[in-house]
């Protein structure tokens, strides 16, 4: 029998502790998308760097610079800026960078744009992360990354017929195999050997996006097809730094279309099956003993607790912005959170499935919470929606493909609690 949902105060009481490893100690703890100041144990007076990156952590070039600062443990402040695809660019940022492009970085008050130029300036000021961008070992790898990127765009963003799709896939496979050869020659798990270096950071943002988008739009599992890339990802996922910036399949598959000018599904049976699993679960998206293609990190025990704490922090805005309206969504959200916290089947009011799935489809990783916490929350929302006694098949508003203005960050900024 289904239990009654907990009240908000009962749910609040379940968030008993906020250990450092949840990312709540943001200035000195592990890498966190919510951090606005990173000190790495140094006094605030030592901060020379401000990173301007996008609110949702969707911008790949921002991720490269962000990860570099985290790996090199350089103290920095974060200023978040809206991307054109999800809202209006802040006037103060347009005064700083008239074209509005991200990332930008200020070092000792001097503004730098263009991610590679930013890394060069950081290398000059603080020393490089392994061989630097201009190192003869790194230059050919930077070229390889661009070739892989181009092959990915050619496959993902062009509407191919059956034969064209197969050709584009083989072209992509060739460049992915070239990356594998580099990893094999280095002895791995990283591109230049056992230590992570700038060369790896050059590849991280787009290879992460390739892994997600090719599963969803092409039914191609990059990590399964290319074992050395699987080992590379696993080595990255062993690091707090990477895990703090890492997104997931669902987030990328729906943030890329407006950024890339469209992504084309090839319509194969495998593609349709994987896309459905990425959208609706259950997660992980592969069954049985197969390796999880999204992450090698096992689910941490506190995944559900982190998700609960993150939703409670923003609950007023989430309620107001739901298509069911605040009063309509309130008991449904409490039902889902009760399931998340206690693991018990909790009855939602009839007709709430659409509101629950609306939220399920709008959890963004790592912006809102880490990958496993998001999975726990999406699973609880989906299971609660499926238990809707009136319309268990109800769906949220479709995720737009041309823009993501449904993800305007402003309501979350003005309503955010101060702690």
Give whichever of 202 and 387 is closer to ligand GSH, judged by the CB atom.
202
**Nearest distance in Å: CB 109, ligand GSH:** 20
3-state secondary structure the chain: CCECCCCHHHHHHHCCCCCHHHCCCCCCCCCCCCCCEECCCCCHHHCCEEEEEECCCCCHHHHHHHHHHHHHCCCEEEEEECCCCCCCCCHHHHHHCCCCCCCEEEECCEEEECHHHHHHHHHHHHCCCCCCCCCCCCHHHHHHHHHHHHHHHHHHCCCCCHHHHHHHHHHHHHHHHHHHHHHHHHCCCECCECCCCHHHHHHHHHHHHHHHHHHHHHCCCHHHHCHHHHHHHHHHHCCHHHHHHCCCHHHHHHHHHHHHCCCCCCCCHHHHHHHHHHHHCCCCCCCCCCCCCCCCCCCCCCHHHHHHHHHHHCHHHHHHHCCCHHHHHHHHHHHHHHHHHHCCCECCCCCCHHHHHHHHCCCCCCCCCCHHHHHHHHHHHHHHHHCCCCCCCCCCCCCCCCCCHHHCCHHHHHCCCCC
Asked whether position 219 contacts ligand GSH by CB under 6 A, the answer is no
Give whichever of 364 and 384 is closer to ligand GSH, judged by the CB atom.
364
Asked whether position 402 contacts ligand GSH by CB under 6 A, the answer is no
Asked whether position 90 contacts ligand GSH by CB under 6 A, the answer is no
Asked whether position 206 contacts ligand GSH by CB under 6 A, the answer is no
How far lies 404's CA from each of 87, 184, 259, 401, in Å? 8, 39, 10, 7
**Nearest distance in Å: CB 45, ligand GSH:** 29
**Nearest distance in Å: CB 157, ligand GSH:** 14
Give whichever of 143 and 270 is closer to ligand GSH, judged by the CB atom.
143
Asked whether position 83 contacts ligand GSH by CB under 6 A, the answer is yes
**Nearest distance in Å: CB 230, ligand GSH:** 26
**Nearest distance in Å: CB 407, ligand GSH:** 13
Asked whether position 101 contacts ligand GSH by CB under 6 A, the answer is yes
Q: Which of 67, 17, 69 is nearest to 40 (CA)?
A: 69
**Nearest distance in Å: CB 200, ligand GSH:** 17
- Interface mask toward ligand GSH for 52-81; x: CB under 6 A: -------xxx--------------------
Sheet holding 37-38, edge to edge: 37-38, 76-81, 49-54, 104-107, 110-113
Asked whether position 84 contacts ligand GSH by CB under 6 A, the answer is yes
Give whichever of 100 and 284 is closer to ligand GSH, judged by the CB atom.
100
Asked whether position 366 contacts ligand GSH by CB under 6 A, the answer is no
**Nearest distance in Å: CB 350, ligand GSH:** 41
Piece of 11-19, 45-53, 114-122, 322-330 that binds ligand GSH (CB under 6 A)? 114-122
Give whichever of 18 and 94 is closer to ligand GSH, judged by the CB atom.
94
**Nearest distance in Å: CB 96, ligand GSH:** 13
Give whichever of 115 and 322 is closer to ligand GSH, judged by the CB atom.
115
**Nearest distance in Å: CB 104, ligand GSH:** 8
Total residues in contact with ligand GSH, by rule CB under 6 A: 13
Q: Which of residues 115-154 bind ligand GSH (CB under 6 A)?
A: 115-116
Asked whether position 18 contacts ligand GSH by CB under 6 A, the answer is no
Q: Point out which residues bind ligand GSH (CB under 6 A).
A: 59-61, 83-85, 100-103, 114-116
């Amino acid at each position: 029998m289904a239990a009654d949902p907990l009240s908000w105060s009962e749910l609040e009481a379940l968030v008993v502790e906020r250990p450092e490893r949840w990312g709540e100690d943001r200035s000195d703890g592990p890498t966190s998308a919510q951090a606005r100041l990173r000190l790495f144990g140094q006094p605030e007076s030592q901060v020379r760097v401000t990173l301007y990156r996008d609110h949702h952590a969707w911008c790949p070039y921002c991720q490269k610079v962000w990860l570099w600062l985290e790996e090199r443990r350089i103290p920095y402040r974060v200023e978040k800026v809206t991307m054109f695809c999800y809202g209006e660019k802040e006037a103060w940022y347009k005064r700083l960078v008239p074209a509005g492009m991200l990332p930008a970085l200020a070092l000792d008050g001097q503004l730098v744009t263009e991610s590679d130029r930013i890394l060069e300036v950081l290398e000059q000021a603080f020393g490089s992360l392994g061989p630097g961008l201009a190192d003869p070992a790194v230059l050919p790898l930077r070229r390889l990354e661009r070739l892989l990127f181009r092959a990915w765009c050619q496959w993902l963003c062009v509407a191919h017929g059956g034969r064209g799709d197969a050709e584009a896939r083989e072209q992509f496979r060739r460049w992915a195999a070239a990356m594998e050869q580099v990893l094999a020659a280095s002895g791995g798990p990283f591109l230049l050997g056992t230590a992570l270096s700038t060369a790896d950071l050059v590849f991280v943002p787009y290879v992460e996006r390739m892994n997600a988008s090719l599963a969803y739009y092409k039914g191609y599992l990059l990590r399964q097809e290319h074992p050395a890339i699987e080992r590379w990802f696993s080595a990255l996922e062993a690091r707090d730094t990477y895990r703090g910036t890492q997104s997931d399949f669902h987030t990328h598959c729906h943030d890329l279309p407006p950024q890339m000018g469209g992504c084309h599904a090839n319509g194969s049976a495998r593609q349709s099956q994987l896309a459905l699993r990425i959208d609706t679960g259950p997660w992980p998206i592969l069954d049985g003993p197969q390796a999880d293609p999204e992450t090698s990190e096992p689910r941490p025990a506190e995944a559900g607790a982190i998700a609960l704490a993150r939703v409670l922090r923003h609950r007023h805005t989430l309620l107001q912005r739901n298509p069911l309206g605040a009063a309509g969504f309130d008991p449904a959200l409490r039902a889902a959170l009760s399931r998340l916290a206690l693991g018990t089947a909790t009855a939602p009011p009839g007709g709430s499935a659409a509101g629950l799935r609306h939220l399920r489809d709008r959890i963004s990783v790592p912006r809102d919470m880490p990958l496993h916490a998001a999975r726990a929350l999406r699973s609880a929302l989906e299971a609660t929606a499926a238990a809707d006694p009136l319309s268990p098949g109800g769906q949220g508003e479709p995720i737009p493909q041309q823009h993501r203005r449904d993800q305007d960050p402003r309501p979350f900024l003005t309503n955010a609690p101060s702690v």
